[in-house]
Amino acid sequence: MSYMDDIRTAKVVGFGNIFHAELPKMRFVMFERGYGYQAVCIGILMDATGKNKEDACKNLMRVIESYIKQTIHEHNDNKDAAFEHITQINFSSDELKSVYYDKYQQAKYLYSVLKEKAKAKARTRARQEVLAALAESFARLWKTVLFPHPRIWFSFTVAMT
């Protein structure tokens, strides 16, 4: 199995953005691996691993900080030139970046679909709770006011429409 196939079949467990005051937004994707977690900054193709998700993110942050410091050093401490260089790399195209970006987009899409399903389920649950409360109120009203006969009662259920 090639490295690209490994990426294509890897399980994505997180995604997000990386922000730096002097750089454009960069995206990252996190994979679950047999040894822990791998976080990859897509724009500059830097990665880091960790035993858990938090460690992988912290380690990725350290790798990016080291990369920025090294790039500034390589540009004779000219931060503007270094940040321009990193920005160009971030916006350059590459097959590996495309594969990572596809995984990022798939994860983002799946997250939005699942989030909408959860919202719909919550709305349905809230609607059911309101209907149940109405049914209970009506049953109480039925028993006490409309039909107070002690030996006869009805079980009433509001139909779901």
Per-residue pLDDT reduced to its tens digit, 7-62: 888 889 998 888 888 889 899 999 999 889 999 999 999 999 999 999 999 999 99
When mean pLDDT is compared across 48-52, 80-84, 106-110, 145-149, the lowest value belongs to 145-149
- Is residue 87 predicted with pLDDT exceeding 80? yes
Q: How far is CA 13 from the centre of its chain?
A: 8
The distance between the two most distant Cα atoms of the chain, rounded to a whole number of Å, is 94
Q: How confident is the model at residue 127 (pLDDT cuts 50, 70, 90)?
A: confident
CA-based end-to-end distance of the chain: 52
Q: How far is CA 11 from CA 5, 31, 38, 53, 147, in A?
A: 12, 6, 10, 13, 61
pLDDT of residue 45: 94
65-90 mean pLDDT = 94
pLDDT band at 69 (very low <50, low <70, confident <90, very high): very high
Helix/strand/coil for 81? helix
- Grade residue 111 by pLDDT with cuts at 50, 70 and 90: confident
Q: To the nearest whole number, what is the mean pLDDT of the chain?
A: 85
53-74 and 79-91 helices cross at what angle (nearest 10)? 130
Tell me if 104 sits within 8 A of 29, measured CB to CB: yes
Share of the chain above pLDDT 70, in %: 86
C-beta of residue 37 within 8 angstroms of C-beta of residue 55: yes
